[in-house]
Homo-oligomer: A and B are copies of this chain.
Amino acid sequence: MKITSVETVDVRFPTSLALDGSDAMNPDPDYSAAYAIVRTDEGLDGHGFTFTIGRGNEVVVAAIDALAPLVVGLDTDAVFGYPGAFVRRLTGDSQLRWIGPEKGVIHLATAAVVNAVWDLFAKVQGKPLWKLLVDMTPEEVVSCVDLTYIEDALTQDEALGLLRRLEPTKTAREAEMREHGFPAYTTSVGWLGYPDEKVRELARAARADGWTSFKMKVGVDAAADARRAALLREEIGADARLMLDANQVWGVREAIDAVRALAEFDPYWIEEPTSPDDVLGHLEIARAVAPIRIATGEHVHNRVMFKQLLSSGAIGFCQLDACRLGGVNEALAVLLLAAKFGVPVCPHAGGVGLCEYVQHLSLFDYIAVSGDLTDRVVEYVDHLHEHFVHPVQLLGDRYCVPLAPGYSSEIWAKSLSDYAFPAGAIWGA
């Protein structure tokens, strides 16, 4: 089977109209996807995308187009047989590398292409992506990972050792997941643009639906943050988990002061207290506000950054993003690094299709890498799932195990055409 083309679509949803997704850094996002369809000569397609919040989505689409010549014409046996080499072919292109390397637009585009290829691979195998990964040998998993620049923290032998340790007990955890699903938390109650009464009502409804972990946006106004945290804590009770998310609005010293002021509400974590690039800043904040733990990851752009955040103790939760990182392969690298340093992975989700993606990664993480559910919860936001052919399914506060072959990343053709920017029916009217 040969890859014959990579088609791209600029898809945007007008979410800014209802302030869904509003936070301290992103007041009015239009959730968008730079979408890639990897077509083959045998009729099977792989679908992948990267998530953005509106303007600039066309730049990421242009970057996918720039990567396409590296993919078109490849034999899928070669790609699936050597997934590590395939990824290095994309991230290592000597000219394209300059405009990253492995960060920003070109890396977001790499994720769309790599994830589309994994969707195709899983469809060819007739398995959901998590199961494809679970059924791999430790050697096969490690061969997917580019250890360049992280070998000082995680050698190939250590990676193999982590996977081999859990090999004998994978079946039991797979059965457990199929029966009970993977625990989640909700971000849908606490968007910054929502009035207090709406937050209160949503929290009450979510509590009634069985949710026990709730995230709230903070960072624009200290008094409002405290008022809303008190309100939310009142609604969810002392036993529920309350996560606070500052979306990078603070400097290091501001962050320390702000977190101390919010400590009385017993936050489970503080998310994105400052710049995602500031490893040493996160470390300083973490030391100053302990035992409150720091979470970050949705803007952490590659495994080299995660290596530092994880090995130094700067973060207590690893919130990897399925398309900020360069796709499945680099996500595997970060799962292994997190396991090595004993940091729980709670992936970033929401947006467009991130929930659909990350459920696969967390299932693989639990079954084959960490073997532990302690402190592991996957973000859940109830937006835009209706556009997906195989949307996530929740039962109470748990993700049900996805069973359809692929990476759950395919958007309905009608949604692709209706929401295509700027000519689709929704935008062109």
Contacts and interface: CB of A to CB of B under 8 A. Distances in A.
A329 to B, nearest CB: 17
A279 interface: yes
Contacts of A104: 99-100, 103-107, 301
Q: Would you call the interface of chain A mostly helix, strand, loop, or mixed?
A: loop
B253 A56 contact: no
Given A59-B66, A66-B56, A103 B277 contact: yes
Contacts of A55: 66, 93, 95-96
Contact of A149 (B28, B102, B251, B284): B251
Interface stretch (A39-47, A220-228, A305-313, A340-348): A305-313
A95 B29 contact: yes
A289 interface: no
The complex is assembled from copies of this chain, and their number is: 2
B280 A311 contact: yes
A53 B95 CA distance: 5
A59 B98 contact: no
A52 interface: yes
Interface residues of A, number: 60
Given A149-B274, A275-B304, A299-B101, A280 B312 contact: yes
A25 B94 contact: yes
Interface in A97-122: 97-108
A407 B63 CA distance: 30
User: Which of A150, A248, A279 has the most chain B CB atoms closer than 10 A to its own CB?
Assistant: A279
Contacts of A103: 103-104, 277, 301
A203 to B, nearest CB: 26
14 contacts: A25-B97, A26-B97, A55-B93, A59-B62, A62-B62, A99-B105, A99-B108, A101-B248, A103-B103, A151-B251, A278-B304, A278-B308, A280-B308, A281-B304
A150 to B, nearest CB: 8
Contacts of A135: none
A140 interface: no
Interface string A234-273: 0000000000000010011100000000000000000000
Contacts of A197: none
A251 B99 contact: no
A311 B28 CA distance: 36
Given A95-B30, A104-B106, A106-B56, A277 B305 contact: yes
A174 interface: no
Contacts of A304: 275, 277-278, 281
B277 A302 contact: yes
B152 A281 contact: yes
A98 B247 CA distance: 11
A27 interface: yes
A58 B53 CA distance: 22
Contacts of A29: 94-95, 98
A148 interface: yes
Contacts of A274: 149
B95 A251 contact: no
A60 interface: yes
Contacts of A93: 55
A54 interface: yes
A365 to B, nearest CB: 23
Nearest to A308: B280
A278 B309 CA distance: 10
User: Which of A55, A284, A312 has the most chain B CB atoms closer than 10 A to its own CB?
Assistant: A55
A152 B52 contact: no
